[in-house]
Amino acid sequence: MRCSRRAFLEAGLALPAVLHSAPEPGGWRSSGPAFSQDSSFDPWVEIHAENLRHNVTEISRRVSVRPILAVIKNNGYGLGVVNVAQLLEPQPEIFGFAVVKLHEAFSLRDAGIRKPILLLGPFDEQNLADAVAREILPMVYTALGPALEKIAAKQQKPVSLHVCVDTGIGRVGVPYHQAAALLGDLAGRHSVHIEGTMMTFTEDPDFDKEQLGRFNQTCTALEKEGIALGKKHAASSFPLFQHPDAFFDMVRPGMAIYGIYSENEFRHMGIMDLRPAVSLKARVIYAKKLRKGDSAGYNRAYMAKDDVWVATIPVGHADGWPRAAAKGAKVRINGDLYPVIATVSASHSIVEIGAEEKVKIGDVATLFDAQSGSRPEDVSEACGASVYDLTMHLNPLLPRRVV
């Protein structure tokens, strides 16, 4: 083993505190606590509080200070749903949060989050009563009037909710041509307070315009009848770049908050300066020289054309690192980028270092971070993995560390 105990300890100074007490390579035990859940080599996720704040400020500027409903579904896009809510809640630009899973809404309230929470996902009548009791706003698109009456009677105040209108995405939402009946019914009940009316774009730039027209017509007709629709909102990250006429009363981005451009062509348009707020890192667990003709990976996916140094990183598809990464993604070690080769297996990836032994056991490998060349968008561009998968598929059990 090439790395000295001292070199490893020094490198270890950069590690998150939670990982410090791990046993050292070679089976030594440090004098610290005798037991740690995580090996100091295991992958970890870093959340950059400053970049998160910067992105919120950028979005706010872009939308002329309209309120931001921060979408933090699917474990806060991989950053940790409670982490993200706690970091964002103090920012005045943040109106509230949107999640899909009921348990995420509850865990936010359990963690002391006070701002409004919109539940984008499904619920049964009992779920609805429980959610309302914890001031979680349901997103409604079916004839729930009678159930809402019951809940309102029990809690002795109207149920606040948002109504979702389907203008062409065909997923959830009342079809726009039937929206007047539903909104009319809900608005006519004392037990209901319509706090918002929303839609989702398909992100097909031409059809988006058609969708926007449908939404505007539906809303205008209802407002003429005196029906109060609350805050209208439609813009996720894509429309923040493409459709300023769809910012309405509030915007509803997810990915942009995490500092990642959802489309590569947005990166150089100068509309918003987004800075990735999430990194994935691990430590090199092995470095070795393959001889000409040696193979690497399942199915011998890689054959060494010459003698070559390779390094093994303990990150695989079970951690959320895509299999496609072996098609050209690069990993940064000691400032240099090295291609992922062979195959990404459940818990390992192999990178090609080259003719020289430039990497040793214990070096930090950055799979993505905020630096140019290893941003999530760079990984996505190099190997075709979606930036949404890069963050949302991060294994929820990996340690999260706010930096």
The number of beta carbons lying within 10 Å of the beta carbon of residue 92 is 10
**Binding flag, residue 71, ligand PLP (CB under 6 A):** yes
Q: Collapse the DSSP code of 7 into the 3-class scheme (helix H, G, I; strand E, B; otherwise coil) and give the result.
A: helix
Residue with tokens 């706003």: 137
CB of 183 to ligand PLP, least distance (A): 18
Q: CA-to-CA distance for 105 and 119, rounded, in angstroms?
A: 7
CB of 274 to ligand PLP, least distance (A): 11
**Binding flag, residue 161, ligand PLP (CB under 6 A):** no
**DSSP letter string over 318-342?**
GGT--GGGGGT-EEEETTEEEEEES
CB of 80 to ligand PLP, least distance (A): 16
Span 73-112, contacts to ligand PLP by CB under 6 A: 73
With respect to ligand PLP, which residue has the nearer C-beta, 7 or 172?
172
Residue 9 exposure: Cα atoms within 13 Å on the Cβ side: 8
**Binding flag, residue 196, ligand PLP (CB under 6 A):** no
**Binding flag, residue 197, ligand PLP (CB under 6 A):** no
Q: Collapse the DSSP code of 220 into the 3-class scheme (helix H, G, I; strand E, B; otherwise coil) and give the result.
A: helix
Residue with tokens 């774009």: 201
Span 215-274, contacts to ligand PLP by CB under 6 A: 236-238, 252-256, 262
With respect to ligand PLP, which residue has the nearer C-beta, 25 or 253?
253
Of 52, 59, 120, 132, the one binding ligand PLP by CB under 6 A: 120
Count of residues in contact with ligand PLP, rule CB under 6 A: 13
**DSSP letter string over 30-84?**
-SS-S--SS-TTS-EEEE-HHHHHHHHHHHHHHTTT--EEEE-HHHHHTT-HHHH
- 175: which strand partners? 166
CB of 22 to ligand PLP, least distance (A): 34
With respect to ligand PLP, which residue has the nearer C-beta, 137 or 255?
255
CB of 121 to ligand PLP, least distance (A): 9
With respect to ligand PLP, which residue has the nearer C-beta, 215 or 302?
215
CB of 219 to ligand PLP, least distance (A): 17
Span 139-158, contacts to ligand PLP by CB under 6 A: none
Q: What are phi and psi of 192, to 5 degrees?
A: -125, 135
CB of 336 to ligand PLP, least distance (A): 32
CA distances (Å), origin 122, targets 37, 119, 172, 196, 347: 35, 8, 10, 17, 34
User: Going residue by residue from 384 to 403, which x/- string records binding to ligand PLP, judged by CB under 6 A?
Assistant: --------------------
CB of 200 to ligand PLP, least distance (A): 5
Q: Which helix (H) or strand (E) holds 126?
A: helix 125-133
Q: CA-to-CA distance for 15 and 9, rounded, in angstroms?
A: 10
With respect to ligand PLP, which residue has the nearer C-beta, 55 or 237?
237
Q: What are phi and psi of 30, to 5 degrees?
A: -75, 170
The number of beta carbons lying within 10 Å of the beta carbon of residue 328 is 14
Q: CA-to-CA distance for 238 and 197, rounded, in angstroms?
A: 19
User: Going residue by residue from 38 to 67, which x/- string records binding to ligand PLP, judged by CB under 6 A?
Assistant: ------------------------------
**Binding flag, residue 200, ligand PLP (CB under 6 A):** yes
**Residue nearest to ligand PLP as judged by C-beta position:** 254
CB of 334 to ligand PLP, least distance (A): 33
Q: CA-to-CA distance for 331 and 339, rounded, in angstroms?
A: 6
Q: Which residues bind ligand PLP (CB under 6 A)?
A: 71, 73, 120, 200, 236-238, 252-256, 262
